Structures are given as structure tokens and as C-alpha cells.
Structure 1
């Protein structure tokens, strides 16, 4: 399988694409990322909105209709899911190679 030039993804991008598999607004995305990463990744508001703008330009996420007119809601697009799937495959391969090499750091 050919590796995509967009890979590897940053942790922030990876988690945002995952969080937006279901529609969500900025603050909800930040909460979901924090929860999914078990507190390892905390996205600041400025970072969040810069990332959203970038992901919109790349067409990895799109604005979707919302009942709440005060908040913009986004969702991962088919292209975003493709990128996310490719990144998951890349990470699985890295993990498989590491396990095969038994590189747990034990001596």
C-alpha cells in the first residue's frame, strides 16, 4: 500500500478527526480529545480553531447543520476518514514491527 504524503498526522489532528466521526463543535472536540487521550492531549482554544481551519481547507472535515445557531458544528468527511484509516494502518504496522522485534527495553 502506497504511503500518503499527508502522513504522519500530528496527535492533535489524529484526535480531532477521531472526535469528529460524530458531529461536534469546538469545545466538545476539546473535551473529547482530552478524554480519549486520558488527559495526555489538551488542546487550547487557539490551537483548536487553527486546526479546524486547516482541516476545513484540506476537506478532511466539513461544517454540518446544527440546531444550535450559536455554534459551528463539524464532522469528519469521507476524505478525512480515508486519511484517518491510513494513519491507523501506519501506526498498527509500526506497533507490529516493534512487537516482532521484541523491543520492550528489557535486558
Structure 2
């Protein structure tokens, strides 16, 4: 069984997933996460960079490059091999947990209310 490096929060899960497609800058990550989650996860910039700092510190994401665009510095981040491995393990864990809950819900169906 795989030993997790870090606990993967929902924002971290979606940031890692967004980076599977290649390097992205902060606003690109925000947009990709919104699209992947069908609008359910809306990252605020403070949350994004807090999570990115943690993911970089944990070796799951690294700085790919920096580019100046219209006088502003854009940092592009990419997924590391460890990040890909961690995301894969987390996706498997979530799928297994979902199957457990679904099976349990089927097993314990509420009794149908009797009609008078």
C-alpha cells in the first residue's frame, strides 16, 4: 500500500489535476480548476498560492519558468513525478471510498413509507 506524502485537500487535488495537462500560471490554474470541477471549486488567489507553496515544499509541484507579460511576472508551475504519483494514489483512494459508500447505501435502503 502506498504511503501518502501529504494529506491531499480538495483544492490540492484539483490543482494537481489541472497541472497534469502541462505547466500553468496561477490564473490558468484557477480557470482550469473551475472547468474541471464544473464550477464547483472556485479558488481564491490566496488559497491557490498557499496550496501551491505547500505542494512545492512537499515536492509535488515545481516552478517551471517565469515570464514577464505586460510588466507582470508570471510563474508557471508543473507537476513532478512525485506529484503525479500522489495524485494517482489519491484518485484511487477517492474511488475506493466512493465504492464503499455506494455499496453501503445500497445495502441499507430506507424502508419505504407505507401509504394509508
1:34 corresponding residue in structure 2: 34
The total of aligned residue pairs comes to 105
Q: Following the alignment from structure 2 to structure 1, what is the Cα–Cα distance between the partners of residues 27 and 12?
A: 15
Q: Deviations over 1:53-101 (max 9, x none)?
A: 11111111011135x3321100110111111011011011112222333
1:78 corresponding residue in structure 2: 81
Q: Structure 1 unaligned runs (5+)?
A: none
2:9 corresponding residue in structure 1: 10
Higher strand share: 2
Instruction: Provide the aligned C-alpha RMSD in A.
Output: 2.0
- Give the TM-score normalised by structure 2: 0.79
Whichever of the two has the greater Rg, that structure is 2
Q: Structure 2 unaligned runs (5+)?
A: 111-116
CA pair 96-44 structure 1, distance change in 2 beyond 3 A = same
